[in-house]
Amino acid sequence: MKTKRIPIPSPAPGHERFLTVHEFGQGEHKAYLQAGLHADEWPGMLALQHLMERLIALEADGQLTQRIVLVPYANPIGLNQRLFGKFPGRFDAVTGQNFNRGMAIDSDDLIDRVRSELSDDGEANDRIVRATLRQMVEEQSPAYEIEWLHRTLLGLSLDATVMLDLHCDYDAMPHVFYGDHQRDQGARLGDCLGFPIRLEEDVRGVVAFDGTHTQPWVCLSEATGKPFSRPCFAATLELRGQYDVSDDLARRDAEGILAFLESEGFVRDSGAEHQPPSGLTRAINVDQVKVIPATANGLVTYHKELGSRVETGDHLADIVVLDADGPKRLAVTAPTGGVFFSRTHSHLVYPGASLGMIASDERHIEPGQQLSFR
């Protein structure tokens, strides 16, 4: 294992921030994994610590066949956000920007740069595109600290063959996001992790960190019709909820990730002890996820557990109205049928706040949109 520290330009006199990067193995292909881009999401940070232990041992045994890069905390800016004992960590305090948005590559520029160089040789095309992506990142001129962070992370990750971004929800079943053009790899990732909910995205629209890595390849393929051998596979792993930080869960997730890396040719004979999904799996497009908004302020109490199959009109929750003349509850019913897989852990809610999400069979947002910018 090789470890390096990459500084982020100082935000103020007397301050220093840096990223710690661990690199394993050698080879043409790179797998990149990071955790904590939303700095208030900690399960992935622990999972990568367990994965690091396994990779150190596998490297010593000569079982790594390609390069693997781990960034155990991807957001030192957010990790320094403390407000009266709380850790916000999701938005940049200077610009207000979500740390997991706003870093997409200009695909039109990429197409213009490489169109004349591409041939019918998929492997050669891969090398051309990855070299150009690296150059485009190097040419960026960041101003704000968050822009420096994004540039640094993309400089490490954008030429990867596999990119896994570890996140978590507020309170949720484990689930995974990936591009709808990579269903087979996404399903295999879900199987290795034992995650029952798989959410497929149209990456040609608004993208987060994962889609930033796959969008250029999709746009290139559509614009040129040229073949690619191993375009980047990228996914966001939602490791349950913010309070699901335990060695048992982290070890299980690390084993699932290791099994997937082995299936992608980065590791051999890992002996990964992954658990297949229990019960039925559900793969749907992101536009089939229904976000349930609160209609009033008050305290929310739930009547359905995560993983419950619900039908339209089922009693999901109550909002207890605190400023009514007497005891008052507003029933929250399921707006659609499906699997209730995510809910808030902030029980004091306000109008418009997300109470949870249902994986359904119906379209609820336009393809290419993110579920939420909150």
Q: What is the pLDDT of residue 244?
A: 98
Query: In this model, does residue 159 exceed pLDDT 60?
Result: yes
All domains of the chain in start order, with CATH: 2-279 (3.40.630.10), 286-359 (2.40.50.100)
Q: Spell out the residues 6+ positions from residue 74 whose beta carbon is closer than 8 angstroms to its own.
A: 19, 34, 35, 36, 37, 153, 165
Q: Which two tokens stand for residue 23?
A: 């690199």
Region 295-323 average pLDDT: 97
Q: What is the pLDDT of residue 230?
A: 98
For residues 107 and 215, the answer to whether their CB atoms sit within 8 Å is yes
Q: For residues 220 and 119, give the distance between their C-alpha atoms in angstroms, rounded to a whole number.
A: 13
Region 3-21 average pLDDT: 95
- How much is the CA Rg of the chain, to the nearest whole Å? 21
Three-state SS at 295: coil
Q: Which two tokens stand for residue 123?
A: 């492997």
Q: What is the pLDDT of residue 69?
A: 99
Given pLDDT bands bounded at 50, 70 and 90, which one contains residue 367? Answer: low
Q: What is the pLDDT of residue 182?
A: 97
Residue 16: CB atoms within 10 A of its CB come to 11
Q: For residues 301 and 286, give the distance between their C-alpha atoms in angstroms, rounded to a whole number.
A: 26
Query: In this model, does residue 373 exceed pLDDT 50?
Result: no
Q: Which two tokens stand for residue 240?
A: 């349950």
User: Percentage of the chain surpassing pLDDT 90?
Assistant: 92
Q: What is the pLDDT of residue 241?
A: 98
Query: In this model, does residue 133 exceed pLDDT 50?
Result: yes
Query: In this model, does residue 370 exceed pLDDT 70?
Result: no
Average pLDDT, the chain: 96
Q: What is the pLDDT of residue 275?
A: 81
Each residue of 93-124: pLDDT tens digit?
999 999 999 999 999 999 999 999 999 999 99
Given pLDDT bands bounded at 50, 70 and 90, which one contains residue 374? Answer: very low
Burial class (CB in 10 A: 0-12, 13-18, 19+), 61: exposed
Each residue of 190-244: pLDDT tens digit?
999 999 999 999 999 889 999 999 999 999 999 999 999 999 999 999 999 999 9
Query: In this model, does residue 153 exceed pLDDT 90?
Result: yes
Region 246-270 average pLDDT: 98
Q: Which residue has the higher pLDDT, 294 or 11?
A: 294
For residues 122 and 229, the answer to whether their CB atoms sit within 8 Å is yes
First and final C-alpha spacing in the chain: 37
